[in-house]
Amino acid sequence: MKTHVRCRGCGRRKYLPKTPAEYLVQPECATCGERNWRRDAWKNHPANKQVCEGTCRHYPHRRGSLKCYYNPDGTDKPTDQLYAELYGELDEAQSGSPGSH
């Protein structure tokens, strides 16, 4: 049974011809080299997907995921939460730099 999987080391997605449990030696991850895969529940059950139809990203993604403009129920995320998701890393980097005082 073909199945979608994710690497436990780096999180990379892959499509395998068999489930991870059916392999004696699992295929190597091209990104991190580990041989430890798990089933990707979201990719394997398309009926459960809530794909965002908005313009927040240029590719299909899960509604309510990190940096998506909407909550899983379809309502707009609060502005402060969205700002923290989009720019939180930049704010932390600027506050830790020596020239920001």
So where are the chain's domains? 1-49, 50-101
- Cα separation, 69 vs 77, in Å, equals 6
Q: Tell me: the pLDDT tens digits for 68-93?
A: 888 888 889 888 888 888 888 777 77
Cα four-point dihedral sign 12, 18, 23, 28: negative
pTM for this entry: 0.51
CA distance 8 to 60: 23
The verdict on domain 1-49 having CATH code 2.20.28.10 is yes
Query: Does pLDDT of 60 surpass 60?
Result: yes
Q: For tokens 């529940």, name the residue.
A: 41
Assess whether pLDDT exceeds 60 at residue 97.
no
What is the tens place of the pLDDT at every residue in 23-40? 999 999 999 999 999 998
